[in-house]
């Protein structure tokens, strides 16, 4: 099988092969007070919400680092915050600034960049789902290797904690009411209308509200995997009283 040759390289007269690979994208924000997990305030202060977000992000990055055979990309925002992610925790990731308008625009831009760099399959995750394991992410890539053109990880609040695709899917990012309860349903309907075969992974909970935080504490008491070491330690030290 011949390696893929980019059109730009051919136009320039250079037969420069583009390495074909699978890509795992982690969408992350710098954990700045007042900019992350604001729906957790109250019961948390802005500083506490930022600290919790940092723990969630680093735990997800560590779990994703267990996956072999994929190119890992961390798309971060704001654009000037790149140095915040130059630590051992994110060493397995190639760092890229986010671009695009709104959540949908940023995800679309990240996926488009990955495909343009030679990705065959792209899976996008965030840091809101502590239950997201390396095995679950591998399962998403398996679905894309089989019949699915798109794969979703449904969140119990009506959104999704994971999105994967085998090609750019602009219809999934535009005119969506992000954060609303119909995100997953609308996205699935768009796949059906476009004739795109899709697969659904098991549902999990995001951590966005005070109720979610209480559910997370209960979940951590009954689950040991994923390990979530930073999140467990932070919750144990900060929220000592039972919910």
pLDDT in tens, 110-162: 999 999 999 999 999 999 999 999 999 999 999 999 999 999 999 999 999 99
Residue 78: inside a domain: yes
Residue 243: inside a domain: no
Q: In the chain, how many domains are there?
A: 1
The residue segments making up the domain with residue 148 are 4-233
- Write the CA distances from 17 to 8, 117, 132, 155, 216, integer angstroms: 11, 11, 34, 38, 46
CATH number at residue 145: 3.90.550.10
Residue 94: inside a domain: yes
Confidence of residue 6 (pLDDT cuts 50, 70, 90): very low
Residue 118: inside a domain: yes
pLDDT, position 20 = 86
Q: Are 171 and 222 in contact (CB under 8 A)?
A: no
Residue 52: inside a domain: yes
Residue 242: inside a domain: no
Q: What is the pLDDT of residues 74-107, one digit of tens each?
A: 999 999 999 999 999 999 999 999 999 999 999 9
Helix (H, G, I), strand (E, B) or coil at 86: coil
Residue 178: inside a domain: yes
Residue 99: inside a domain: yes
């Amino acid at each position: 099988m011949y390696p893929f040759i980019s059109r730009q390289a051919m136009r320039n007269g250079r037969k420069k092969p583009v390495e074909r690979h699978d890509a795992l994208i982690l969408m992350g924000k710098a954990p700045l007070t007042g900019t992350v997990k604001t729906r957790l305030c109250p019961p948390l202060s802005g500083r506490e919400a930022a600290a919790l977000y940092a723990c969630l992000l680093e735990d997800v990055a560590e779990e994703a680092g267990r996956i072999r055979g994929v190119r890992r990309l961390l798309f971060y925002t704001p654009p000037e915050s790149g140095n915040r992610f130059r630590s051992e925790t994110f060493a397995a990731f190639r760092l890229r600034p986010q671009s695009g308008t709104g959540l949908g625009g940023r995800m679309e831009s990240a996926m488009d960049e990955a495909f343009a760099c030679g990705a065959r399959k792209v899976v996008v995750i965030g840091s809101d789902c502590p239950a997201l394991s390396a095995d679950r992410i591998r399962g998403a890539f398996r679905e894309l290797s089989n019949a699915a053109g798109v794969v979703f990880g449904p969140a119990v609040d009506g959104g999704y904690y994971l999105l994967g695709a085998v090609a750019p899917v602009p219809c999934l990012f535009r005119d969506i009411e992000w954060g609303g309860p119909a995100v997953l349903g609308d996205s699935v309907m768009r796949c059906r209308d476009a004739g795109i075969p899709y697969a659904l992974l098991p549902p999990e909970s995001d951590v966005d509200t005070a109720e979610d935080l209480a559910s997370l504490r209960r979940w951590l008491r009954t689950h040991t995997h994923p390990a979530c070491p930073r999140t467990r330690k932070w919750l144990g030290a900060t929220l000592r009283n039972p919910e």
